[in-house]
């Protein structure tokens, strides 16, 4: 995993949250520089209480893939990372306790763009493709 923002929202103090949110906005805006590929959004939970849930797959487009965050609890913020060579939103929801341990709902939303032949385009390949290239 390679974090694209300078630090996780979980590690930000109150003064750093605004800067973090601006970084997230800037990264999302940079996606507009690429073709608006159709994408599969794979939503998977990683926290203790939800980790065994089946992943959910939704359709989206690259230019509005950040809207997938609306489908999960994002109460405690979002990070953006490259995971398995795909853009991934790491979303932190509300807290809960299990066996006297505190957890946050943690969801990964992996964005997998695909070409006209329905082959996935990894992030390093996408980085080479600008708006008018295929």
Confidence grade of residue 133 (pLDDT, cut at 50, 70, 90): very low
Confidence grade of residue 66 (pLDDT, cut at 50, 70, 90): very high
The mean pLDDT value for 31-42 works out to: 95
CA distances to 36, 84, 89, 105, 113 from 128, rounded to whole Å, are: 14, 17, 21, 34, 14
Confidence grade of residue 130 (pLDDT, cut at 50, 70, 90): very low
102, 134, 103: which is closest to 119 by C-alpha? 134
pTM of the predicted model as reported, rounded to 2 decimal places: 0.91
In whole angstroms, give the CA distance from residue 22 to residue 24: 5
The mean pLDDT value for 64-89 works out to: 96
pLDDT of amino acid 129: 58
The pairing of strands 56-61 and 38-45 is antiparallel
2, 66, 57, 73: which is closest to 32 by C-alpha? 66
pLDDT of amino acid 85: 94
pLDDT of amino acid 134: 39
Arithmetic mean of pLDDT over the chain: 92
């Amino acid at each position: 995993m390679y974090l694209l923002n300078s630090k996780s929202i979980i590690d930000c103090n109150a003064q750093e949250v605004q800067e973090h949110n601006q970084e997230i906005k800037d990264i999302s805006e940079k996606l507009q520089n690429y073709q608006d590929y159709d994408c599969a959004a794979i939503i998977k939970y990683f926290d203790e209480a939800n980790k065994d849930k089946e992943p959910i797959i939704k359709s989206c487009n690259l230019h509005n893939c950040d809207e997938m965050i609306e489908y999960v609890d994002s109460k405690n913020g979002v990070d953006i990372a490259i995971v398995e060579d795909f853009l991934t939103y790491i979303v932190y929801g509300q807290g809960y306790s299990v066996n006297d341990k505190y957890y946050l709902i943690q969801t990964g939303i992996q964005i997998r763009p695909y070409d006209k032949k329905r082959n996935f385009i990894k992030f390093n390949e996408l980085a080479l493709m600008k708006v008018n290239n295929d």
